[in-house]
Amino acid sequence: MKYMSYGLPGPKPSPTILDEVKAVLHLAIPLAGAQLSQSAIGFVDTVMMGLLGSQTIAAGGLGATYFTALLLIGSAVVAALSPLAAEAYGAGKPERVGQIAQQGLWLAVALSIPLTWLLWNAAVVLRLLGQAPETIALSQTYLRAIAWGLLPGLGFAVLRSFVAALSDARPIIVIMIGGTLINIVTNYGLMFGIGILPQLGLAGLAWASTLSLWCMFLALVGYILNQPQLRAYGVFRHLHRFDQQIFGELIKIGIPMGVLSVVEVGLFAVTTVLMGQLGTVALAAHQIAIQTAAITFTIPTGIGLATTVQVGQLLGQGNFKRAKRAGFIGIALGCLFMSSMAVLFWTMPGGIVALYLDIHDPLNAEVVKLAKSLLLVAAMFQLADGIQVTAIGALRGFKDTQIPMLIGLATYWGVGLTSGYVLGLTLGFGGVGLWWGLALGLAVAAILLTWRFWVKQPNRQADE
């Protein structure tokens, strides 16, 4: 059987910085595009929610935030596959690559059980978090429909990491664009009841997302099975076999990644909950701003994923010096992109809000005004957000996940959430104060995570 061999750094003795940039971009562009395509599902859902009114966008946004949080946490854990598979690929161990992917699928199934339960019983959680009864009822209809999409979402995350670890991210973006198109088409039909489709309102948006998640997962399975070079890794061969050692490695690396995701997602989720306590206007404005920030965040996230793979492959080859350089290149690319997004947020807040609501409708005036203010604050933390997520990606390439987890806990919650609560609720600055807390927490995280990567030393002697 022939294994994929392209994408690995060549035997050139002294690759230039430009060579390294091209190597990272080779993966980063399709992965970032795939992340952007995925976020488009949330964007389209939010726009559609706006057609049903502010109450729906508030409740639907809360439900979407809850689902996205759990999906991101689960995806972060199974993403432990990425550095392990990339290192095995770089070291020329194809059988281990396939075994790692198999155990990643086991892990996805194991995680989907408790996470789906949390989605199905979200009303209890939201009630404890002080949300309004009418908001909870509407959110629950959304969550019980989209709960069926969690398993394929995690399965897709596993197979995406497997394919990306082999430096072939092209099919990922194609499949995710297709999934986004399916979501867009079915969104409108299921929400308003077009043709033979039932009119399901907010729940229709969730069922459309579930359908797109299943389609993307099955499409990637089909792609792997139909490509001889990928099929040679035997990901679906003897899938019933459980490898305790590899599964344990995934858990060891993945749990800190999942905890870090919990901490980071929790920062935004708790902020969303606090916004809900400030009222429907604050929650709706927050949903608009956070959805916009989530879209721009997908690009450095994709760059971070590519950086993990590049660093992991070079580490597998024993080339620590080039691995470090690849990491810094990834951080620089994330910083560059988010700087441009900061300028966009600062100069065009009104135009951005107009994508979600009719800014000339007097009924939306309060939401529009607050959303503009939040976007101005978001402009301030775009740079920090891009740096911290790519620095995390670089550290993951070294399988360094425990210290970043502790840094995230201290900065996202210790600094970000605490200062946001004080500014927003104690000192009375409201939603704007909560968002300034986000900005401060992310800035400190960016500094400490970059410092951690700077001082990172090899665990073994590299072959230069």
Q: How large is the greatest C-alpha to C-alpha distance in the chain, in angstroms? A: 66
- DSSP character at residue 318: T
- For residues 84 and 69, give the distance between their C-alpha atoms in angstroms, rounded to a whole number: 24
- Per-residue confidence (pLDDT) for residue 6, from 0 to 100: 41
User: Is the distance from CB of 111 to CB of 154 less than 8 angstroms?
Assistant: yes
- Nearest alpha-carbon partner for 165 in 213, 69, 235: 235
- Per-residue confidence (pLDDT) for residue 11, from 0 to 100: 47
What residue segments make up the domains of the chain, in order of their start? 17-455
Phi first, then psi: what are they for 6, rounded to 5°? -75, 160
- Nearest alpha-carbon partner for 59 in 272, 289, 270: 272
Number of helices and strands (H, E) in the chain?
18, 0
- Nearest alpha-carbon partner for 239 in 108, 78, 105, 107: 105
Torsion of CA 207, 212, 215, 219, to 10 degrees: -170
- Per-residue confidence (pLDDT) for residue 14, from 0 to 100: 62
User: Is the distance from CB of 189 to CB of 181 less than 8 angstroms?
Assistant: no
Helix (H) or strand (E) holding 78: helix 54-78
- Per-residue confidence (pLDDT) for residue 9, from 0 to 100: 44
* Sign, CA torsion 263/339/292/156: negative
- For residues 337 and 331, give the distance between their C-alpha atoms in angstroms, rounded to a whole number: 10
Question: Which pair of structure tokens corresponds to residue 344?
Answer: 């966009």
Residue 391: half-sphere exposure toward Cβ, Cα within 13 Å = 27
Task: Give 268-279 as a 3 state SS string.
Answer: HHHHHHHHHHCC
Neighbours of 130 (CB within 10 A): 10
Across 148-179, b (16+ Cβ under 10 Å) vs e yields: bbbbbbbbbbbbbbbbbbbbbbbbbbbbbbeb
- Per-residue confidence (pLDDT) for residue 58, from 0 to 100: 75
Question: Which pair of structure tokens corresponds to residue 38?
Answer: 């995925």
Residue-level pLDDT, tens digit, the chain, 464 residues: 455 544 444 444 567 778 778 878 888 888 877 777 766 666 677 777 777 766 777 777 788 878 888 888 898 899 999 999 999 998 888 889 999 999 999 999 999 999 999 999 888 888 877 777 777 888 888 899 999 999 999 999 999 999 988 887 788 888 988 988 888 888 878 877 777 777 777 888 889 889 999 999 999 999 999 988 888 888 888 788 888 899 999 999 999 998 998 888 778 778 887 887 788 888 888 888 888 888 888 889 889 999 999 999 999 988 888 899 999 999 999 999 999 999 999 998 888 888 887 777 777 788 888 888 889 888 888 889 999 999 999 999 999 999 999 999 999 999 999 999 999 888 888 888 898 998 999 999 999 999 999 998 766 544 43
- DSSP character at residue 357: S
Neighbours of 243 (CB within 10 A): 15
- One-letter amino acid for residue 96 of the chain: R
Residue carrying structure tokens 């929400």: 191
- Per-residue confidence (pLDDT) for residue 462, from 0 to 100: 41
Question: Which pair of structure tokens corresponds to residue 96?
Answer: 């281990």
pTM score, whole prediction = 0.81
